Copies of this chain bind each other. A is one copy, B any other.
Amino acid sequence: MKKPLRIGLIGYGFMGRAHSNAYAKVGHFFDSDYECVLQAVCARDEANLKTFAGRWGYKSIETDWRKLVARDDIDLIDIAVPNNLHAEIAIAAAKAGKMILCEKPLALNGREAEKMVAAVQKAKVPNMVWYNYRRCPAVVLAKQLIDEGRLGKIFHYRAKFLQDWTINPDLPQGGTGLWRLDVKAAGSGVTGDLLAHCIDTSLWLNGNIDSVSAMTETFIKERKHNLTGKVQKVGIDDACAFLARFSNGSLATFESTRYARGHKALYTFEINGEHASIFWDLHDLHRLQYFDHRDEGRVRGWRNLHVSDGDQPYLKNWWVPGLQIGYEHSFVHQVADFLDGLQSGKPARPDFKDGLATDYVVDAVLDSARSGRWTKVKKIR
């Protein structure tokens, strides 16, 4: 008999769906001693909540997250609500002894995130942050190649995350579906939303960032706010680019924007090492570009890997070579790895501490953009 892991999900938006799908699906494709049980889902709009619960098979609903956190029949709290609510919920959940899976970025800033880390450490509860792109097979393959030393000394890291959905000045800010444009709910714009992904991946693949020099811009200065109905100043950054120096001596450029026509969700990274280079692109996430200088000169070129073979990460659990998996699978993998961590006693990552490390970089980036100076990144103690 499998051990039930009773999930209490807070939030039924885009991420609520992605997480629900992961819980529903993981057991069909990955073995575990644990079985995810969709015990309860929580949100404020009861009518919508019931529809959502019915569709996904949640056994019960709550409209107050405090009640959900207090329930005895919940093992794990999954936080899939706007950023400004993460800290309070997570700290309460930790106090209640629940495992916690929290959407990214971990908090509005490093200060908040530190408290969350303290809370889970004190409570000794398993915890993880939903930086799901670490679980794309091609990204894990990149990690393997780096860890095997194939790239040698790293000279360069470059990442960007480009979108184009907020160019229209008539798009309002705030409220359902648009809280990411409201600085109170989101904390920042593309920096905390998109660059946080790029930063998390980079810390995982390339180690610590020492210092950054950043610039940000808000192209559309005012937008109607959906909650107040008034045209208000836009507080978020529409675009952000920064230079960085990693502890391993490599140089980096990072950039994100929601004003890049033609790019829907173009998260790319490239790493150039002494011997080899790697490139990945979320728009074709099942592919990895790999260049190995040790190949014979005449036939040396970027290898376009179709990451769908059984000897590539996670793939033996899916279909057959040549058949691609997609975005949602990264969440399934994250749950599978979380369950493996529970079973093995080696917790899966990124945990809250990793989330804090990314928040420290985000803080430094925003500070640098304000001050116009190179800014040191706070280190995790």
The chain A residues found within 8 Å of chain B, CB to CB, are 14, 18, 20-21, 24-25, 27-28, 55-56, 141, 144-145, 155-156, 158, 160, 162-165, 167, 213-215, 217, 219, 239, 241-243, 245, 249, 251, 253, 255, 257, 259-266, 272-277, 282-288, 290-293, 295, 297-306, 308-309, 311-312, 318-329, 372-374
User: Of B56, B164, B305, B322, which one neighbours A163 at CB under 8 angstroms?
Assistant: B322
Sorted nearest first, the 6 A-B pairs with minimum C-beta distance are A265-B322, A264-B322, A262-B291, A301-B303, A323-B327, A326-B326
Known contacts: A322-B263, A322-B264. The answer to whether A257 contacts B303 by CB under 8 A is no
A298 and B312 within 8 A (CB): yes
CB distance from A273 to the nearest CB of B (A): 6
A14 and B263 within 8 A (CB): no
B301 and A305 within 8 A (CB): yes
Residue of B nearest to A261 (CB): B277
Known contacts: A259-B155, A284-B284. The answer to whether A18 contacts B319 by CB under 8 A is yes
Given A18-B319, A164-B293, 14 more A-B residue pairs with CB atoms under 8 Å apart are A164-B272, A242-B243, A251-B257, A257-B272, A259-B272, A261-B275, A262-B272, A264-B306, A265-B321, A295-B303, A298-B305, A302-B303, A319-B327, A373-B373
Which B residues are CB-close (under 8 A) to A318? 328
Residue of B nearest to A25 (CB): B25
Residue of B nearest to A319 (CB): B327
User: Of B158, B213, B266, B298, which one neighbours A141 at CB under 8 angstroms?
Assistant: B298
B260 and A156 within 8 A (CB): yes
A261 and B293 within 8 A (CB): yes
User: Of B144, B273, B290, B323, which one neighbours A301 at CB under 8 angstroms?
Assistant: B290
A319 to B283, CA, bound (A): 13
27 A-B contacts, Cβ less than 8 Å apart? A20-B28, A145-B299, A167-B274, A217-B251, A219-B249, A241-B243, A241-B251, A242-B243, A257-B272, A260-B272, A261-B274, A261-B275, A261-B277, A264-B320, A264-B321, A284-B287, A288-B301, A299-B303, A300-B303, A301-B304, A301-B305, A303-B303, A304-B304, A323-B328, A324-B327, A325-B328, A326-B329
